[in-house]
Structure 1
Amino acid sequence: MSTSTAGYTINTATSTTSFIDSIGVATHLASYGPTYILSELSYLGIWNVRDGIPSADALSTYVAAAEAGVHFVLLESNAFYPSTAGQVNATADVLRADALEIAVPGSIIALEGSNEYTTNTYYLNGISSHGNLSWGAADDAALQAAMRADPLMAGVSLIAASECSTTAIPSFGTFADASNVHVYGGIGQQLQDGINAWVAAAQASNPGKPVYITETGISSSGFNTSTWGGGVADAYTQGIIDTNALLDGYKAGAAITFLYELMDEPGASNVQEQHFGLFNADGTPKPAAVDISNLTHILQDNGPALTSPGTLAYNITGLPSTASSMLLEKSSGAFDIVLWNGNATLYNGTSVVTPPTSEVTISLPSAVSSIKIFDPIKGTTAIQTVSNVSSITVGLSADPIIIEIEQSSTTPPAPPAAPQALSDPNIVNGYVNAVHNTAQQAITGIAQAGAIVTVYDNSFALGSTAADANGAWSFVLGALSDGSHQMTAVASNASGQMSAASAALNFIVDTIAPVPGIVNVVPTGSNSVTISGISTTDSSVSVYDNGKLIGTASSTNGSWSLTTKLSGSATHTLTETATDAAGNTGSALGVTLYSNQSKQTLTGGAGSDVLIGGSGDKLTGGAGSDVFVFNKGFGTEVITDFAPSTATTQGDHIVFSRAMVADFAQLLADARQVGSDVIITVDKADSVTLSHVALSNLHASDFSFI
């Protein structure tokens, strides 16, 4: 069956092997020995190494590495000039390289001219390299002459000397076989812009010549530790930036991109230089080593060499302007679309910055048998697998994403039916309350017998379980977060085909108990009162007098009221409970003390109490932030322990009927300091004494008027 590719971009792949072959790392073999280095290179899956030309005493280490499969770019040592002006001995360097080539033929990729000669100081024919951009061509010419005079170097390339100019790549004419650039970013930068710019500059200065990035990377010495203006990051961000740099280098056309460097250097000249390593100085992997190891293992091709990568028709939508993509192929025919956010801001020089997540969609002309999503920063296991689909949407933020597409020549089996009858016995009236929201909470349903059922909460996969021979399945949800939840389930069969999503099971988790409170008690007749208060909307409130239920009410828009009779004692201790729609029950933070007779003593406790007294009453709130309510015609009352609020503590509160005191301004007009007390005289019959309170300490926030 043919599929039209009209409307889709035909993308040409390169092999995953060619990408892995394009990455390398700078090492110091002479310092650490082959066993240490080889274990780390094997962990990374990298076998291209940049190091100095070996001295006689280090040769055995290089030979051991080469015999294990390491290929070298060897850097000119500059070890032969005397302290005064002398000549770089290119011939001696080539002879030392010969020893390695003789021991392991084909192990040398290239020799490289002097390192960063414009900032370092080397001498050739008595001329210093420092600040001298043209010096590199002379150095390349000397090294070329020595290599051409040596038959063992016939198959070895010459990479130009590297310089640290910020303006141009010099033309080396016919002296070198390849250009050489070092790329480091500034504060807050990744490396993509620099890689693209310097590779393009090298290609323009030396057309038709390959370009080697012999150093790039970022130090993990931590924010604010830069000693020469280059970017520095934490270890986690270093891993992402170094991984992106390898992808950027390959896409830009670099022959090999060498990360600087394999291991941290405790003895380096400054803290920034000490922490470029992918591994710590003790050999333990930093996040950068883990990330790159994951990348190479995901893309590793164990099949025969892929000599003619193919094409794949697809469109990409939603890719942010800061991101890039490329297409790779394995010998199995699987394609890997790699997405990375190489120009996004991951740090600002002082802290980590998380780029916004972009929803990127890959659309194909027809369904494919399998699509797997990998995040090498998270591991080597697919974070998502789908089957028999023609498109996939992924979230792209800081981490690179690999989308592996496998096409099948056979028609996949029909997907299983969608799961049915999702239920959770802990849901009551659409809610799961605090009692039912337990670690054992589970969802059940029916699916095709033997199917793998994946449960989703608001489109986020929670996990999977298997349906039994009858199709019944159960999945433990555990305690869920408060809020709305939409549970769906998708079944997959042994072929990986996936069903449509089930009908949704919607519910709200509410584990927060309501906190009811009485606002006022107003007499309405013989022993009859109207009690009003607050509570969670749609909760049911029960009010008790000295422990005896005297009425219930429903809270509407957060308020409730009821009319009942209070009989018996002169003072009443009112308490209340409330049960919300989810079934959570809560109690008030304190009690309400009410007196319907004069000259009573009302004394609160440790909670936040409400005291509503009659004429001649003495009111003591006790501990907690208490509220004193004075209705119309309250008489003459005394508060013995009123505590105004301060800048750091919440004090007590007084509520007046507006029929008696309109606002705080009127209250101040009615108040006066009498000795150590404040007396608020509303009229001849009504006054409140605040014992041991200074008038100057009262604030508008201490009062309400209803």
Structure 2
Amino acid sequence: MKHPVALIAGLLARRTASQRLRHVSLAKPRGRPGTRVAGSLATGFCALACATAAHASGAAQAMPADDFLQTLAVVTHVSYTDGAYVNVHNVADDMAWLGIHHVRDYAPGSSIPFSSYVYLAQRGVKFNFLMGADFEKKIALAAKLNTEVPGSVAAIEGPNELNNFSITYQGLTGAAAGLAVQRDLYARVHGTPELAGVPVYDATGFDPKSVETRTNSADYANQHVYPQNGEQPLWNANGDKWMLAAIHLGQRFQLPLVITEFGYFSLPQAGWYMLGVDEPTQAKGVLNGYMDAAAAGVKRLYVYELLDEKPDPERKNDEMHYGLFRNDNSPKPVAYAIRNLTSILNANTTRRTSAAARSTLAYTLSEMPPSANSLLLQKKDGRFVLVLWNETLIWNRATGAPLASPPARVDVDFGGKAKRVDLYDPLTSAQPLESHRDLRQLSVNVPDHVILLEITPADTPGT
């Protein structure tokens, strides 16, 4: 049997340029869970990779829910004029409905009116613009947009997947050309007053072992992650740890990390090194991936992609099924789940402005399996949201069907009496499934996907 990387390389070799932005990550994880990593992701990485029977001994610092929401992003293809993206009003409406603001797309060009980008920016869309060797004219358009709608350009990204899409630049080809573009792009962005403060994301698809530094080339390391075989993003009983590979590689240059492509296509498949799952499993994988990334300190994760680009009535084209929304703009389960998640985290109660809420919670989780994780968030009104998820197998790669694993029974101690605890499952609803009052401990069934415990401590300022 072929080595797994060779299998993926064979799949990539059959791709055409029309398959555009997506690729399968070639990197397999190296090392074991618990390996120390340097830089800003070290704490989050260890929290993910070093799971034990009891979590969060002592007070844990909560991540503001607003900060978490800013890590949620999606890939769009506004420049495509032959499919679902031609209707930019749908794009804006869908983003608002999801509660997500950040997108990754090609920089403005000649295929659609510049006014379409202005319209989306005015609707709250914030762009990471992907650039190639022709970046000079694209930078000018990005600067123009950021001037017309200040803050609408959130990042500029270097060349996409140099291992799949070769470019030429100043007499260079391949990775050398891409790295040269990245260096000059970095200087150009940081020398453009209209883009002051806009970070530069690194190119993707070059071999980091051959590069000593990204100084004066990138502000953020950048990776793509596509879990194979319907596997979970971070931890899988098959032994694959897809997101950890990106985190390991992202540490080489001591830079914060973004993941500018991640996803599952909703076309169920069997076999090895295939991506396709059914729509409910896509929802589980995407939400778990968002949480894994945030817990590891990843600055932003862009899910591929917002819309199924074109109809595929024969259901044979994988590329046409990555969307959060189907080609007819109807939401898939993953879109409902994201909307439920953002709605829960944005819902606040009135809090006295003079009352200061503490930002730590001394919770303890007992009987957590190695495949399970937690993330503590805090809403603007002071309430905590403890996110729990257990990355057990979710897809049978032999039969091409979903797997259902029994949930893990986890005992939660909130470190003190809680005035109220509401349990949510964003795959089901934005309304609580259970509500409890005046308790310190609670036993919870943690499934193979994200659930939320919204906690109002007894000493929370008036609500």
SS of residue paired to 2:59: strand
The separation in 2 between residues aligned to 1:235 and 1:96, in whole angstroms, is 37
| CA spacing shift, 1:98–1:375, aligned 2, 3 Å | same
The answer to whether structure 1 residue 396 and structure 2 residue 435 are counterparts is no
Partner of 1:358: 408
| CA spacing shift, 1:224–1:40, aligned 2, 3 Å | same
- From 2, 8, 17, the equivalent of 2:66 is 17
Partner of 1:553: none
The separation in 2 between residues aligned to 1:180 and 1:237, in whole angstroms, is 26
- From 121, 125, 130, the equivalent of 2:170 is 125
Partner of 1:111: 156
Q: Point out the structure with max Rg over C-alpha.
A: 1
Partner of 2:187: 145
The separation in 2 between residues aligned to 1:151 and 1:332, in whole angstroms, is 37
The answer to whether structure 1 residue 326 and structure 2 residue 326 are counterparts is no
* Matching residue's letter, 1:60: S
The separation in 1 between residues aligned to 2:113 and 2:370, in whole angstroms, is 47
Partner of 1:173: 215
Mapping of residues 155-194 of structure 1, within 5 Å: 155-163=197-205, 171-192=213-234, 193-194=241-242
The separation in 1 between residues aligned to 2:193 and 2:209, in whole angstroms, is 37
Partner of 2:92: 38
For residues 647-668 of structure 1, the C-alpha deviation after alignment (integer angstroms, 9 at most, x for no partner) is: xxxxxxxxxxxxxxxxxxxxxx
The separation in 2 between residues aligned to 1:106 and 1:368, in whole angstroms, is 40
- From 73, 77, 86, the equivalent of 1:28 is 77
> Structure 1 length as normaliser, TM-score?
0.52
| CA spacing shift, 1:91–1:225, aligned 2, 3 Å | farther
The separation in 1 between residues aligned to 2:203 and 2:146, in whole angstroms, is 21
The separation in 2 between residues aligned to 1:221 and 1:58, in whole angstroms, is 33
* Superposition deviation, residue 11 in structure 1: 1.1
Q: Give yes or no for contact 1:225–1:272 (8 Å, CA) kept in 2.
A: no
Partner of 2:331: 285
The separation in 2 between residues aligned to 1:410 and 1:210, in whole angstroms, is 33
* Matching residue's letter, 1:334: R
> Which structure has more helix as a fraction of its residues?
2
Partner of 2:102: 48
* Superposition deviation, residue 187 in structure 1: 1.3
The separation in 2 between residues aligned to 1:379 and 1:136, in whole angstroms, is 45
SS of residue paired to 2:94: helix
RMSD, matched Cα: 2.7
Q: Give yes or no for contact 1:185–1:191 (8 Å, CA) kept in 2.
A: yes
Give me the identity figure in percent. 29
- From 111, 117, 135, the equivalent of 1:62 is 117
* Superposition deviation, residue 185 in structure 1: 1.1
Mapping of residues 27-426 of structure 1, within 5 Å: 27-30=76-79, 31-56=85-110, 57-76=112-131, 78=132, 88-129=133-174, 132=175, 134-163=176-205, 171-192=213-234, 193-203=241-251, 205-207=252-254, 209-224=255-270, 229-266=273-310, 271-300=317-346, 302=348, 310-341=359-390, 343-349=391-397, 350-409=400-459
Segments of 5+ residues of structure 2 without an aligned counterpart are 1-55, 80-84, 235-240
The separation in 1 between residues aligned to 2:316 and 2:159, in whole angstroms, is 22
Q: Give yes or no for contact 2:416–2:457 (8 Å, CA) kept in 1.
A: no
**What is the aligned length?**
388
Partner of 1:470: none
The separation in 2 between residues aligned to 1:263 and 1:301, in whole angstroms, is 27
| CA spacing shift, 1:309–1:218, aligned 2, 3 Å | farther
The separation in 1 between residues aligned to 2:88 and 2:429, in whole angstroms, is 27
> Which structure has more strand as a fraction of its residues?
1
Segments of 5+ residues of structure 1 without an aligned counterpart are 1-6, 79-87, 412-706
The separation in 1 between residues aligned to 2:264 and 2:202, in whole angstroms, is 23
> Structure 2 length as normaliser, TM-score?
0.78
| CA spacing shift, 1:145–1:333, aligned 2, 3 Å | closer
Q: Give yes or no for contact 1:291–1:376 (8 Å, CA) kept in 2.
A: yes
* Superposition deviation, residue 369 in structure 1: 1.0
Q: Give yes or no for contact 2:417–2:458 (8 Å, CA) kept in 1.
A: no
The separation in 2 between residues aligned to 1:325 and 1:272, in whole angstroms, is 32
The separation in 1 between residues aligned to 2:304 and 2:433, in whole angstroms, is 30
